[in-house]
Amino acid sequence: MADRILVLYGSYRSDRAGIHLANYAVSALKARGNDVELIDAKAIGLPMLDRMYKEYAPGTAPTMLQGLAEKIVAADAFVFVTGEYNWGPQPGLKNLTDHFLEEWFWRPAAVLSYSAGPIGGARSNLTWHGILSEMGMVVISSTINVGTIAGALDESGRPSGDSGARLERAFPRFADDLAWWTEAAKQQRQRRKPPY
């Protein structure tokens, strides 16, 4: 049975170079036989966090929040595609993530970062490792930083230039690592109920 993977992306900018990276991740994971969906924070348009999903009485959460909660709970794994803003994570993606907590538990997450410059969002990538771990996900050790994002992928999401070539070389290991942890987490959840 195919793994259900959500690829989450959070830029709200008008010119979003990172959307090509998110689309690349979706296509590459689908090509490996996974059931993959892009969750675009800008397209969903959640308000700034006031009440988490769990703070609504059952059946009273806004429709978009309820639908997203159901998708998160049904997922086997997550890929967070994040840019870097002033050494930190994108606020749109962080806001989307913070609307939920228990819904994320006991599944693996991977971080795919990018930036306009050569370091590929490494500082944001590192920050996300801590955030996602705190939120109950198992963050895989493989990670990808795509530098000079504007030249790494063309408009159709195909890798180009040196940065694109590095992405293509790195992605199979990244996806293999995520697949291993996804299988391990699925088996463990079937074998034993989570401790809380």
With beta carbons less than 8 A apart as the criterion, state whether 174 and 110 touch.
yes
User: What DSSP line would sit under 37-90, residue for residue?
Assistant: EEEEHHHHTPPSSSS-GGGSPTT-S-HHHHHHHHHHHH-SEEEEEE--BTTB--
For residue range 52-82, what is the model confidence (pLDDT) as tens digits?
999 999 999 999 999 999 999 999 999 999 9
- Per residue in 154-180, pLDDT (tens digit) is 888 899 999 999 999 999 999 999 999
C-alpha distances out from residue 42 to 28, 55, 94, 96, 181, Å = 22, 23, 12, 9, 29
Q: Indicate the pLDDT class of residue 196, thresholds 50, 70 and 90.
A: confident
What pLDDT is attached to residue 121? 95
Return all residues near 122 (Cβ < 8 A) that are at least 6 apart. 84, 113, 145
What gap in Å lies between CA 80 and CA 128, rounded to an integer?
A: 8
What pLDDT band is residue 195 in, cutting at 50, 70 and 90?
confident
pTM over 0.85: yes
Q: What pLDDT is attached to residue 68?
A: 98
Asked if residues 76 and 146 have their Cβ atoms less than 8 Å apart, the reply is no
